[in-house]
């Protein structure tokens, strides 16, 4: 029974990683950029959600929608100011810029509001213990899992059934050919950043409710773990990011359950090393030849 409870905890945590990993994988799939500032968009989302609930006194769903809207605009702003001028630059220039943007966001937040932690209120979501087939499960865990799955389903619908989704897939496949077909590549890239950042913002709110404590440097470790999840599933592949996030969450929960909680953060990077050695294209990726 303890195993089942840890499995549910792992899936709840993994769904948070999956939401963040989707932003990494979408951006990489289209512009071949690892957006290391993405973990900090997640952190900004956690704070926007916190202030929406405590200062604006919004309930959970309005706060979630407001956070996603703010983070999507923030993501577009980052793309337009920091990454668009480097569209044709070397990959290393874009990567260094991403790290610089990440540090700028973190220390701007510290400058504006200080480095102290905040605690989400306890009553945002109902905290009840539900007995499922003899296993005590937190209603909060089930609620978080349900929201995460719903957001992932909506993303799949957008990517496969809408005009912007078709444009994103076309640009991902061949940006030059998409441009010749009349697709506005710049707007499509901005839309990708907007959607990925909105999901990271939602993950920030969910994380805050689940773990209570938030602080300006909170995006570093979950951001890196979500990157590991994206690599695990196959970077650039949306279903891979979802599966990678869930798997990583389950692995972490099981490591904690076995009494090795101090290794929780380390195990993600052990997974990354093993994946890069034995399955460099990830679980869902295909080996592609690349001209250098």
Rounded to 5 degrees, what angle do the CA atoms 196, 197, 203 make? Answer: 95
Res 292: pLDDT: 46
Inside any domain, residue 6 = yes
pLDDT in tens, 7-59: 888 888 899 999 999 999 999 989 888 899 999 999 999 999 999 999 999 99
Q: Is beta strand 129-132 parallel, antiparallel or unpaired with respect to 135-138?
A: antiparallel
Range of the domain at 249: 2-114+129-278
Res 130: pLDDT: 77
Return the structure tokens found at 144: 């978080």
pLDDT in tens, 114-123: 999 999 998 8
Q: With contact defined as beta carbons under 8 Å apart, do 27 and 238 qualify? A: no
Q: What is the pTM of this model?
A: 0.91
pLDDT in tens, 218-249: 999 999 999 999 999 988 888 899 999 999 99
> Cα(155)–Cα(165) distance, rounded to whole angstroms?
9
**Residue 288 predicted with pLDDT over 70:** no
Inside any domain, residue 19 = yes
**Residue 62 predicted with pLDDT over 70:** yes
Inside any domain, residue 286 = no
**Residue 113 predicted with pLDDT over 70:** yes
Res 286: pLDDT: 67
pLDDT band at 189 (very low <50, low <70, confident <90, very high): very high
Helix, strand, coil distribution of the chain in percent, nearest 5 = 75, 5, 20
Domain count, the chain: 1
Share of the chain above pLDDT 90, in %: 62
> Cα(94)–Cα(80) distance, rounded to whole angstroms?
13
Res 80: pLDDT: 95
Inside any domain, residue 206 = yes
Q: Is 182 helix (H, G, I), strand (E, B) or coil?
A: coil
**Residue 204 predicted with pLDDT over 90:** yes
Share of the chain above pLDDT 70, in %: 96
The residues near 85 (Cβ < 8 Å, ≥ 6 apart) are none
Res 37: pLDDT: 93
**Residue 129 predicted with pLDDT over 80:** no
**Residue 280 predicted with pLDDT over 90:** no
From the list 105, 129, 120, 115, the residue with the least C-alpha distance to 206 is: 120
Q: With contact defined as beta carbons under 8 Å apart, do 207 and 42 qualify? A: yes
**Residue 167 predicted with pLDDT over 90:** yes
Inside any domain, residue 18 = yes
Res 282: pLDDT: 86
Report the CATH number that the domain containing residue 26 is assigned in CATH: 1.10.3470
Longest CA–CA separation in the chain, Å: 59
Inside any domain, residue 292 = no
Inside any domain, residue 53 = yes
**Residue 87 predicted with pLDDT over 90:** no
Inside any domain, residue 288 = no
Q: Report CA-CA distances (Å) from 3 to 63, 81, 133, 262.
A: 33, 47, 13, 19
Question: For all residues of the chain together, what is the average pLDDT?
Answer: 89
């Amino acid at each position: 029974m303890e195993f089942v409870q840890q499995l549910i905890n792992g899936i709840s945590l993994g769904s948070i990683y999956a939401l963040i990993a989707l932003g990494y994988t979408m951006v990489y799939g289209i512009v071949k950029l690892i957006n290391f500032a993405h973990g900090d968009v997640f952190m900004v989302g956690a704070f926007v959600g916190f202030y929406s609930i405590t200062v604006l006194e919004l309930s959970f769903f309005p706060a979630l929608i407001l956070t996603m809207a703010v983070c999507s605009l923030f993501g577009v702003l980052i793309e337009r100011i920091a990454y668009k001028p480097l569209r044709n630059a070397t990959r290393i220039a874009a990567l260094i810029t991403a790290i610089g943007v990440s540090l700028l966001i973190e220390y701007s937040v510290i400058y504006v509001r200080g480095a102290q932690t905040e605690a989400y209120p306890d009553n945002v979501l109902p905290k009840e213990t539900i007995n499922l087939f003899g296993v005590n499960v937190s209603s909060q865990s089930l609620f978080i899992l349900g929201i995460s799955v719903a957001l992932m389903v909506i993303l799949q619908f957008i990517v496969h059934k809408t005009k912007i989704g078709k444009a994103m897939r076309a640009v991902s496949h061949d940006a030059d050919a998409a441009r010749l077909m009349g697709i506005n590549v710049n707007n499509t890239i901005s839309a990708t950043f907007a959607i990925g950042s909105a999901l990271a913002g939602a993950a920030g709110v969910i994380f805050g409710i689940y773990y209570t404590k938030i602080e300006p440097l909170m995006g570093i470790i979950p951001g890196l773990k979500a990157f590991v999840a994206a690599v695990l599933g196959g970077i650039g592949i949306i279903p891979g990011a979802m599966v990678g996030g869930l798997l990583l969450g389950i692995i972490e929960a099981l490591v904690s359950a076995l009494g090795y909680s101090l290794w929780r953060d380390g195990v993600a990077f052990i997974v990354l090393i093993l994946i890069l050695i034995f399955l460099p294209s990830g679980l869902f990726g295909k080996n592609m030849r690349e001209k250098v």
